[in-house]
Structure 1
Amino acid sequence: MRFSRLSPLAALASLASLVTAEPILQSKSLNTCQENSSFTASLFNVVFTPNNNTANVDIVAVSSVQGSVIFDVMISAYGYQIIRTTVNPCDAGLAGLCPMTAGKIPLNFNLPVGPDAIKQIPGIAYDFPDLDATVKVFINMTDGPEKGQSVACVQADISNGKTVDLIGVKWATAIVAGLALVSSAFISGLGHYNAASHVAANALSLFGFFQAQAMLGMTGIPLPPIVMSWTQDFQWSMGIIRIDFMQDVLTWYQRATGGTPSHLFDSLTNVSVQVEKRALDVAAMGLSLAKRSLAMMPRTITEPMAQVMKHDLLRRSNIQTGSGSFIVFGIQRVAFRAGIETTNLFMTGLAFFCVLVVFVSMCVAAFKGILELLVKQKRLQSDKFIDFRNGWFTVLKGILFRMTLIGFPQMTILCLWEFTQVDSPAEVVLAVFFLVGMIATLGWAAAKVIRIARRSIAMHRNPAYILFSDPQALNKWGFLYVQFRASAYYFILPTLGYLLVKAMFIAFAQRHGIVQAVGFMVVEAAALITASVLRPWMDKSTNSFNIAICAFNFLNSIFLLIFTEVFNQPPLVTGVVGVILWITNAIFALVLLIMLIVTTCLVFFRENPDGRYTYMADDRTSFMKSQTHLTTTTELEALGATARGDKAGGYKPGLDLDDDAESITSDSMRRQAERMGNTNAAAYGKPPGSPADPSMPLFPAEQRSPPRYNNGGNGSSEKFLGTSFQNQSANSYGGNQGPGPFRGNSPNPGRSASPSPWQRGAGYD
């Protein structure tokens, strides 16, 4: 993806080119297709234009064939043979091939194509994107002792210039995902935490789907052309973006730190690069295992240096053929299609991750300054973005943690892959630092969330109590758990493990496509089963959104296994499956984009964005600052401030969640009770620190069982708060007369038979 060469009209121009461009068929590489082939080509570039009935041929070939030959030509599309004919080079007037002589044969000429041959080419061949067509030529001897035998076989992949690898698609997906994340942060700053958490959860899931699409293209599995182009549309989500001056800087850095940059793009005029398309292509070339492991080496390296770097060559993924051309596959295939030297790929992804983190930090700091300036000039109400303005540094920490989570798949793949490449010693050090740092940071944050949730369960019988009542915990650690229901606070750990295992398969199994395909299928199947059974996300719609993504990821893993040709299916099946993958994933991605756009827009146009979403059954909204759905009463306001740990109804800074304090709200509840004149205020400073004294019955004595609540519906918080605490108010001001939720000091013998209302709806009943 080349952002440096884009303009606002780039997307329109890309789409228009599909219609207005002159029809052509072209090939840029020539592959050998039989062992001990006597004819090879290091440079092969053929362009056929049907409008002028000519084909321009530019070839640098090496031949060991001597004598008269005849060409047996076969043309196939998606594995189906459509044309087979023979060509006599003497009749066609091909100089240098009649008769064929041994040695280096440079050819550059225009070859006329007759009308009969043009009529045999179907019109769809000029228009269908990423055409999967191949021309295979057998060179057969017509005289001498090898008369009638095939002495060489070459094949060329044909393209029509149309592709689904479009700049417009890259920009559209990047802008929608980015604006959704920014919108969720803006909505959260306005105090609509419920709506913000839904938008953020869907945006992160969509971004994860884009990264999963990019991972398909990074596998070492041979992919059909249309699949390669489709997955290339999402490589921006992995930081694989080409900017010219950045590539120059990264090449200088690698050379300055003891590395040897590759110069594949500088030598394209002399050598051809073959993008691996089918699993049998490499085996058919008859290369030895040593040649398969040799890396692409700059042609300017001297022989002594080549001997010194022999051990370095064994670790590369590029395959250099005997003719001097190169084969790229897997991660290096992605780099080549993006216009990035393979030795610069790791640093490119790392650089964009660092730039994104710095840019976001500067934007947050600038937004804070702009808000304060507007409030000072009285152009903005002082109560707007009050939480962000008072605790903006904590919010920034949470945003940086979220950026780390978003960049985790990208950096784990690139860092692990760098260990197999060793582009330079300094880059390996950077890979170790970022990989260990990100795993340690996210692992420590996940462990922190689990500690907080367990403390909340031990003290209040509900993990949502502490996780959502404190602004600092929510702003700093909320990125790890807000998208899940409260009882699934731990689910971020399986998510990180899932991403790490996929990264290992991609980075370490580049030469083992079947291993990658089977590994992906097992991992995606486990993810789909886990998501379907546990349904850990916050509500039904979010669960459906993510389970659908898991289902498509599993389906794509099955497609990958088919692409390995482990089933020995006909080539036509492989080509059709590639088209199916593109169509199904394109439709699904479009649906997800539309859903996210509509959801985000509706949030901005509603007077109460929180009211659009069903309040979660874990009663998290009862503990958040945003409680517009509750009845506004003095008692409820006091309860909300007490539960959240607010001081005088405002923001409570300096909350320490790193120690083993009794409760994050114990002191504030005691002070609040003192302000309310409660004579039992001292009880708030003792364990368990819950606002509901466990020695008190929660329901009238004559009521044998608590009222039933609908955990999945609206108003669970309202029913609980509206019954028990209104009765509490009556008892507090009207004396301790009659049954009530906090009546008397004697324990209720039957209370243990029914779950606590703090526990109900949190996933425990």
Structure 2
Amino acid sequence: MNLLTTFSCLVAFLLPFAPFVSAVKLIKSNSLTTCQEDSKFTTSLFNILLTPDNNTLHVQVIGVSSITGYVTADARVLAYGHQILNEKLNPCNIKGVDLKTLCPMRAGPIDYDFNIPDLPKDTLSSIPTVAYGVPDLDLKIRVYINETATGKSIACLEARLSNGNTVYQKPVGWIVAIVAGLGLVASAITSGLGHSNTAAHVAANALSLFGFFQAQAMVGMSSVTLPPIVQSWTQNFQWSMGIIQVGFLQRICTWYQRSTGGEPSIILSKLGSTSVHVQKRSIEWGNEFLANVPHLLKRTNNEKSKQKVEDTIVRGIERVGFRANIERTNIFMTGLIFFVFFVVVVLGLVALFKGYCEIASKKGWIKGDKFQDFRNGWKVIMRGILFRLVLIGFPQMCILCLWELTKRDSPAEVVLAVFMLISMCASLGFAAFTVIRLAKKSVELHKNPAYILYSDPSALNKWGFLYVQYRATAYYCVIPVLVYILVKGMFVGLAQPAPLVQAIALLIIEAAVLIAASVMRPWMDKKTNIFNISIAAVNFFNVILLLFFTQVFNQPGLVTGVMGVIFFVVNAVLALILLILVLISSVYAIVSKNPDTRYQPMRDDRGSFIKSQTQLTTELDALGATARGESKSFEDSSSLSGGYPNRADSPAQTLQRQQPLSPLDSSVPLFPADNQVRNAPPPTYQSQVPSGGAGYSRAQNISPAPRNLTTSPFPHSPTATSNPAQYRMNNNSSPWQRGAGYEH
């Protein structure tokens, strides 16, 4: 099977996407650029529209010519670098159009707006039918203007053609955003309902899916010249990087930039008199001249024949902003504002949900124990959510902040970029350091990193976003993941002028990630490993194609066109599969009465350490009381994460107090809640006692998701010890945990 046959099959696959835009057959272009360094003809505005149904060609040209004398035109149409049409035109012989100024040509400004009716049927029939239906067709027309007498080329013009169909559809971006958001919402709901094992799996997959979308957007942000279909496909995911066009927001960004000493760009405001050319790649001529730059040709009011049209280069991140109708100087502020807005909205919704739960509980709309863990520890949970949002937005802000340092739109925006980058790196670095410290402490004391990481609810709720998706022994993955995001963001944001360097660096980075993921398989279970390794494999495949798109191998244009279509097919298929998996797991998590049955318990026994207090049985309380010894005094210890105050709630002590304190007092970390001084060392972990407690079965695991145990104190009655379950619920601290060594 030759290359043309393979390409035909891929084109046939794309045909179902054609009805997304228009059923009207047309070929149009709104850009024109020179393809010859000494070209004597330049344009600032170029529009053509071919409608085969009425055999009409509309042409609008504004430019400057320094050509004099009689000329002929050699027009060539190329599809994916392959020439499909070659026509020779003489302006003196074109019927039905008055082109006296072109026969002969005169030096000076040119302003034409005319129709060419009744085109020859044989010319139209030479255009393949698929050219009118394939989305993001890589089609261009190149016109050489030759002197009639000598046949020498004195000008070269090239225009990219389009049929109006594209795979860039705004509804696609909304759909994938809703599905990813649904996964996060479903995980939060199921966690609040007590199905935290399900919540952990759904959240891990939803975040991995979101990361895949961001990786797609990063490909589009690279300054490598991309085939049209790759540009359009990656544009569907730029919302994940905060590149979202909102009219009033653009006005705010422009006002802020002007107010802080910047000069806003006016590219979009001059589209009525400006021709925009998005370069795809060089094929046969001027590789350095064409490589990786779309050109924006500005119109000038100087009508002297010696004037030249100025080129404004937009590529990479600027190209993404232009396609989203965002001015170049507003891209950074747009991404920053949407990130801050996203954080504020999510935290506001969490606070509103807390208020609703309290009101609903008092009104009897929900059971009193519904979302009990969330209601008791919502402040710590909110801090954990804030850290998770910072992690989600880290790739976006890393790229945009570093890129802003190279553009310097205004002094204030540079300060904002530095502040955001340093604060996010510092907060995530501190969180990663804390996780490593807790894990090492757990290994030192208990020979198991999962012990402290999952038994301390305060640590789990605040720092668990970094490690719950990995198995307990792979807690250290938090460091390479953050380094991976930072290094990748540095090359995307800082290497915009060097597309080849960008492509090679991304290839090395993604290769290292794929090898590490395949060898280590650090995620929590087999399915999650398959999910993430598949994403890593496709990301590596994408950067391989990205290297080819740089034309470093000088492959034929048809090969590059085929690679662009393959890029779209592979990524569309994987995105569809991942979306379906996340959607199914999210819906099942919400509608199922016991969704935890869908997932196996973790092999690292993390579930043994994170039992919800409201779900421990009376038998376990009795077991803890026996192991602890009710008649002996009890020495408290504080949370290793800084979230636990000391505890003093043995039955003998609680009978002497009217209001025993909560085991968690986040307002005074590392200090006893009852203001007592305890200097005795904590009890040591006995190797002969299993970490999960004697007789504990892993099949009883509820989930590996965070649980916060903070609660307000409740008065006790003298009969509290007669009902261990009620005593445990009121004190919110299980004697089983204290007796089994959980006071560490």
Under a length normalisation based on structure 1, what TM-score does the superposition of the two structures give?
A: 0.79
How many angstroms apart in 1 are the aligned matches of 2:625 and 2:268?
63
CA contact (8 A) 2:42 2:309 kept: yes
How many angstroms apart in 1 are the aligned matches of 2:67 and 2:569?
45
Match of 1:24, as an amino acid?
A: L
Q: CA deviation at 1:281?
A: 9.2
Aligned match of 1:379: 365
Q: CA deviation at 1:38?
A: 0.9
Do structure 1's residue 137 and structure 2's residue 139 form an aligned pair? no
Q: 2:497 aligns with which of 511, 516, 520?
A: 511
Match of 1:260, as an amino acid?
A: E
CA contact (8 A) 2:295 2:312 kept: no
CA contact (8 A) 2:70 2:148 kept: yes
Q: CA deviation at 1:101?
A: 1.2
Aligned match of 1:29: 31
User: CA 1:158 to 1:380, structure 2 compared with 1: closer, same or farther past 3 Å?
Assistant: same
How many angstroms apart in 2 are the aligned matches of 1:654 and 1:399?
27
Do structure 1's residue 111 and structure 2's residue 116 form an aligned pair? yes
Do structure 1's residue 545 and structure 2's residue 548 form an aligned pair? no
3-state secondary structure, aligned to 1:618: coil
Q: 2:620 aligns with which of 635, 650, 657?
A: 635
Q: CA deviation at 1:605?
A: 2.9
CA contact (8 A) 1:346 1:418 kept: yes
Q: CA deviation at 1:638?
A: 5.2
How many angstroms apart in 2 are the aligned matches of 1:489 and 1:670?
33
Give me the identity figure in percent. 52
How many angstroms apart in 2 are the aligned matches of 1:211 and 1:18?
24
Aligned match of 1:99: 104
Matches within 5 A, 1:518-667: 518-626=504-612, 634-635=619-620, 656-657=639-640
CA contact (8 A) 1:239 1:353 kept: yes
Aligned match of 1:155: 158
Aligned match of 1:48: 50
Match of 2:604, as an amino acid?
A: D
How many angstroms apart in 1 are the aligned matches of 2:285 and 2:537?
32
User: CA 1:633 to 1:231, structure 2 compared with 1: closer, same or farther past 3 Å?
Assistant: same
Match of 2:142, as an amino acid?
A: K
User: CA 1:115 to 1:252, structure 2 compared with 1: closer, same or farther past 3 Å?
Assistant: same
Match of 2:110, as an amino acid?
A: I
Q: 2:463 aligns with which of 442, 463, 477?
A: 477
How many angstroms apart in 2 are the aligned matches of 1:359 and 1:576?
43
1:240-272 deviations in Å (ceiling 9; x for gaps): 000001101110110010000000011112221
Q: CA deviation at 1:633?
A: 6.0
Aligned match of 2:171: 168
Q: CA deviation at 1:347?
A: 0.1
Aligned match of 2:351: 365
Q: CA deviation at 1:96?
A: 2.2
How many angstroms apart in 2 are the aligned matches of 1:350 and 1:50?
46
Q: CA deviation at 1:435?
A: 0.3
How many angstroms apart in 1 are the aligned matches of 2:435 and 2:651?
27
User: CA 1:361 to 1:262, structure 2 compared with 1: closer, same or farther past 3 Å?
Assistant: same
User: CA 1:697 to 1:657, structure 2 compared with 1: closer, same or farther past 3 Å?
Assistant: closer
Aligned match of 2:319: 333
Aligned match of 1:349: 335
Aligned match of 2:4: none
How many angstroms apart in 1 are the aligned matches of 2:213 and 2:186?
19
Q: 1:120 aligns with which of 113, 120, 126?
A: 126
How many angstroms apart in 2 are the aligned matches of 1:403 and 1:604?
22
How many angstroms apart in 2 are the aligned matches of 1:448 and 1:697?
28
User: CA 1:342 to 1:393, structure 2 compared with 1: closer, same or farther past 3 Å?
Assistant: same
CA contact (8 A) 1:221 1:279 kept: no
CA contact (8 A) 2:82 2:557 kept: yes
Q: CA deviation at 1:18?
A: 3.0
3-state secondary structure, aligned to 1:57: strand
Q: 1:210 aligns with which of 199, 208, 213?
A: 213
Match of 2:276, as an amino acid?
A: V
Aligned match of 2:686: 693
Match of 2:141, as an amino acid?
A: V
How many angstroms apart in 2 are the aligned matches of 1:521 and 1:34?
33
Q: CA deviation at 1:97?
A: 1.5
Q: CA deviation at 1:656?
A: 4.7
Matches within 5 A, 1:382-421: 382-421=368-407
Aligned match of 2:8: none
How many angstroms apart in 2 are the aligned matches of 1:216 and 1:519?
13
How many angstroms apart in 2 are the aligned matches of 1:390 and 1:415?
38
CA contact (8 A) 2:274 2:296 kept: no
Match of 1:402, as an amino acid?
A: R
Structure 1 residue ranges without an equivalent (≥5): 1-13, 302-320, 644-652, 676-683, 700-706, 719-756, 759-765
Q: CA deviation at 1:16?
A: 9.3
Matches within 5 A, 1:436-515: 436-515=422-501
Structure 2 residue ranges without an equivalent (≥5): 1-15, 629-635, 655-677, 703-739
Do structure 1's residue 324 and structure 2's residue 310 form an aligned pair? yes
Give the number of equivalent residue pairs: 648
How many angstroms apart in 2 are the aligned matches of 1:607 and 1:341?
50
CA contact (8 A) 1:34 1:286 kept: no
Aligned match of 1:316: none
Aligned match of 2:227: 224
How many angstroms apart in 1 are the aligned matches of 2:473 and 2:75?
65
Q: CA deviation at 1:604?
A: 2.2
Match of 2:620, as an amino acid?
A: E
How many angstroms apart in 1 are the aligned matches of 2:24 and 2:79?
21
User: CA 1:573 to 1:280, structure 2 compared with 1: closer, same or farther past 3 Å?
Assistant: closer
Aligned match of 2:730: none
Q: CA deviation at 1:480?
A: 0.8
Match of 2:155, as an amino acid?
A: A
Match of 1:81, as an amino acid?
A: Q
Do structure 1's residue 179 and structure 2's residue 182 form an aligned pair? yes
3-state secondary structure, aligned to 1:47: strand
Match of 1:122, as an amino acid?
A: P
Q: 1:260 aligns with which of 263, 285, 298?
A: 263
How many angstroms apart in 2 are the aligned matches of 1:16 and 1:554?
29
Q: CA deviation at 1:64?
A: 1.1
Q: CA deviation at 1:611?
A: 2.2
Aligned match of 1:276: 279
CA contact (8 A) 1:275 1:327 kept: no
How many angstroms apart in 2 are the aligned matches of 1:136 and 1:641?
88
How many angstroms apart in 1 are the aligned matches of 2:625 and 2:154?
85
1:611-652 deviations in Å (ceiling 9; x for gaps): 22111111011111259999x561377559999xxxxxxxxx
Aligned match of 1:681: none
Aligned match of 1:58: 60
Match of 2:686, as an amino acid?
A: D
How many angstroms apart in 1 are the aligned matches of 2:497 and 2:511?
23
3-state secondary structure, aligned to 2:92: helix
3-state secondary structure, aligned to 1:106: strand
1:690-728 deviations in Å (ceiling 9; x for gaps): 5x524x5779xxxxxxx9x9xxx974979xxxxxxxxxx
User: CA 1:629 to 1:534, structure 2 compared with 1: closer, same or farther past 3 Å?
Assistant: farther
How many angstroms apart in 1 are the aligned matches of 2:494 and 2:297?
19
> Please, what is the CA RMSD of the aligned residues?
3.4
1:437-483 deviations in Å (ceiling 9; x for gaps): 00000000111111111111111111111111122211111111111
Match of 2:506, as an amino acid?
A: F
User: CA 1:297 to 1:20, structure 2 compared with 1: closer, same or farther past 3 Å?
Assistant: closer
Match of 2:500, as an amino acid?
A: I
Q: CA deviation at 1:328?
A: 1.8
User: CA 1:322 to 1:480, structure 2 compared with 1: closer, same or farther past 3 Å?
Assistant: farther
Match of 1:89, as an amino acid?
A: P
Which has the bigger relative contact order, CA under 8 A and spacing at least 6?
Answer: 2
How many angstroms apart in 2 are the aligned matches of 1:91 and 1:239?
53
Match of 1:158, as an amino acid?
A: L
Match of 2:397, as an amino acid?
A: M
User: CA 1:440 to 1:283, structure 2 compared with 1: closer, same or farther past 3 Å?
Assistant: farther
User: CA 1:688 to 1:279, structure 2 compared with 1: closer, same or farther past 3 Å?
Assistant: farther
1:55-107 deviations in Å (ceiling 9; x for gaps): 11111121111111111111110111111121111111434221111111111
Match of 2:178, as an amino acid?
A: I
